[in-house]
Structure 1
Amino acid sequence: MERVVATRNAASRLPDGIEPQILEPDAIDGMLPPGAVHQGLAVRAFPIEPQELDAICTPPDGRSVLVLDGVTDPQNVGAAFRSAVAFGARAVILQDRKSPPLTGVLAKAAAGAIETVPHARVVNLGRAIESLRSHGYVTIALEGEAELELADALEDKRPAVIVVGAEGKGLRPAVADACEKRARIPIAPALESLNVSVAAAIALYEAQRSR
């Protein structure tokens, strides 16, 4: 932690060894974004650094890997991290330049998950997916128009790389083409698509269950 600030009341609840700067509630309000709820305590933390793809994903150990292609909404990315932890994913892979930083709204949506599951940022998602396939993963692109259902794609007993794209745009063609399989989550005809974080959660659950 870089800095801890707290009201006197909040400081009395902190563990031994943490020495906050004591401030009035209004002063803490002014340090935070509008509407932020701090309950008398705020921390400036060091950023969580990405790791190397091979270091966190190889060799395969049975767990799934989640890849987010073009998902820029911090709340969706945070929710996807939360699902990754909930369903035992090994890592989350993001595109380097087009993914939001792991701070603020994203960290709140993740509810602690960004500190629990490692992540990598890569320049070229297609090459990263091909690399993971060469290491022994089955790589699956989630696409609503695919003929193959996800449960059938997961009959392959290799650990899965689940690749999801942004709402509306979906997966970029080059990213989808890098995947070994394309599969869909069957949903009612009345609904066109699922929220990307919901789709990621369902896919990770199915991948865990199929193992």
Structure 2
Amino acid sequence: MAGNDKRRGAVRKQGTKKGMVVGSGGQRRKGLQGKGPTPKAENRVTHPAKKRADARKQTEQQQQKRRKAAETAPELVAGRNPVTECIRAGVPATGLYVALGIDTDERVTEAVERAADRGISVVEVQRGELDRMTGGALHQGMALQVPPYDYAHPEDVLTKAHNSGTTPLLVALDGVTDPRNLGAVVRSAAAFGAHGVLLPQRRSAGMTAVAWRTSAGAAARIPVARATNLNRSLKDLKSQGLMVVGLDADSDVDSDDLELATEPLVVVVGSEGRGLSRLVRQTCDQAVSIPMAGGVESLNASVAAGVVLSEVARRRRLR
């Protein structure tokens, strides 16, 4: 009988019994169990997609660091007229750079004298060094170093408007990304009696040296505030009694019929390309367009703002 035979080789030695083989459901059973869903490619350590995802993340982190460094780095206003106007306006400058061997004129003389009177350091540098510092901008031998802009809070701007003794007038920019347009709007706002300018924190130009230069120092006379959410800030202003008017080329009401001009007002200017965003357009109490001759589709954002602010100022003078 098999298993009882005492002949050599007829009985398997102890400890040599053949166990269950791979795939039988016994040995290495855990190795046969499911391991869950397959991870995404970018989560697999050795997958090329993981390497690409890590590279993108590193690039984004570097860009974020550069943006933060740019926000905290001092700005340089270049050019004789912009520098002189900024010093006249009392821009909080920290240094005036003048190229060696510069051809002096009344602007250079005035800028140096005013800077010295205000305790601003006047430093002579080689023209090549000034080229490097200004990034190749047309500096005409002069550049003014200004600290990062100190943005106001929207509530502080409104408080200042209420305490001014005149009807509040604010300007809000929706998606204006060109710092030259921002500077020009700030200059127009100051010229026509606005009490402040409101910017969204994202997707908007900031008060860089280019904006300072275009504003011709007006940014030192009128506060510029940043809102975390522009649409929410506009709703808050409405709840405090201000009317919101947006510039919209498709509106049937033109600026000549802007009856709200004498009310506490916020004028909202959109970008040149897409105009006002949908949510901001819905928040506006009224949309107005600017009457123009045929063949002209739209105006630059800063020009449009100047036209409407001029009309607001005219109506307020006549009331």
TM-score, with structure 1 as normaliser: 0.89
Structure number with higher helix proportion: 2
Question: Compared with structure 1, are the counterparts of its residues 18 and 183 closer, same or farther at alpha carbon in structure 2 (3 Å cutoff)?
Answer: closer
Question: Compared with structure 1, are the counterparts of its residues 18 and 186 closer, same or farther at alpha carbon in structure 2 (3 Å cutoff)?
Answer: closer
Matches of residues 118-129 of structure 1 in structure 2 within 5 Å? Answer: 118-129=223-234
Question: Compared with structure 1, are the counterparts of its residues 173 and 20 closer, same or farther at alpha carbon in structure 2 (3 Å cutoff)?
Answer: same
| Alignment counterpart, residue 150 of structure 2, candidates 36, 45, 49 | 49
| Alpha-carbon distance in structure 2 between the residues aligned to 1:62 and 1:198 | 23
2:206 counterpart SS class: coil
| Alpha-carbon distance in structure 1 between the residues aligned to 2:282 and 2:127 | 53
Q: Is the CA contact (8 Å cut-off) linking 2:94 and 2:120 kept in structure 1?
A: no
Name 2:130's counterpart in structure 1. 28
Question: Compared with structure 1, are the counterparts of its residues 85 and 189 closer, same or farther at alpha carbon in structure 2 (3 Å cutoff)?
Answer: same
Name 2:207's counterpart in structure 1. 102
Q: Give the partner amino acid of 1:32.
A: T
Deviation at 1:63, TM superposition (A): 3.7
1:194 counterpart SS class: coil
Q: Which runs of 5+ in 1 are unaligned?
A: none
| Alignment counterpart, residue 195 of structure 1, candidates 296, 300, 304 | 300
Question: Compared with structure 1, are the counterparts of its residues 32 and 208 closer, same or farther at alpha carbon in structure 2 (3 Å cutoff)?
Answer: same
| Alpha-carbon distance in structure 2 between the residues aligned to 1:94 and 1:103 | 13
Matches of residues 1-211 of structure 1 in structure 2 within 5 Å? Answer: 1-7=93-99, 13-14=112-113, 15-16=116-117, 17-39=119-141, 41-58=142-159, 60=162, 61-155=166-260, 157-211=262-316
Provide Cα deviations, 1:37-71, integer angstroms capped at 9, x if missing partner: 143x3332112211111111136441421110000
Question: Compared with structure 1, are the counterparts of its residues 32 and 156 closer, same or farther at alpha carbon in structure 2 (3 Å cutoff)?
Answer: closer
Q: Give the partner amino acid of 2:145.
A: R
The CA RMSD over aligned residues, in Å, is: 2.1
Q: Is the CA contact (8 Å cut-off) linking 1:64 and 1:159 kept in structure 2?
A: yes
| Alpha-carbon distance in structure 1 between the residues aligned to 2:307 and 2:261 | 17
41-50 or 71-80, which moves further after superposition?
41-50
Kindly indicate whether structure 1 or structure 2 has the higher relative contact order, using CA contacts under 8 Å at least 6 residues apart.
1
Deviation at 1:118, TM superposition (A): 0.4
27-36 or 13-22, which moves further after superposition?
13-22
Deviation at 1:7, TM superposition (A): 4.3
Question: Compared with structure 1, are the counterparts of its residues 90 and 21 closer, same or farther at alpha carbon in structure 2 (3 Å cutoff)?
Answer: same
Deviation at 1:156, TM superposition (A): 5.7
Provide Cα deviations, 1:153-188, integer angstroms capped at 9, x if missing partner: 334631221111001201001001111111111112
Q: Is the CA contact (8 Å cut-off) linking 1:64 and 1:88 kept in structure 2?
A: yes
Q: Give the partner amino acid of 1:57.
A: L
Question: Compared with structure 1, are the counterparts of its residues 116 and 34 closer, same or farther at alpha carbon in structure 2 (3 Å cutoff)?
Answer: same
| Alpha-carbon distance in structure 2 between the residues aligned to 1:190 and 1:173 | 26
Question: Compared with structure 1, are the counterparts of its residues 64 and 193 closer, same or farther at alpha carbon in structure 2 (3 Å cutoff)?
Answer: same
| Alpha-carbon distance in structure 2 between the residues aligned to 1:38 and 1:134 | 49
Q: Which runs of 5+ in 2 are unaligned?
A: 1-92
TM-score, with structure 2 as normaliser: 0.61
Q: Give the partner amino acid of 2:174.
A: D
| Alpha-carbon distance in structure 2 between the residues aligned to 1:157 and 1:110 | 26
How many residue pairs match? The answer is 210
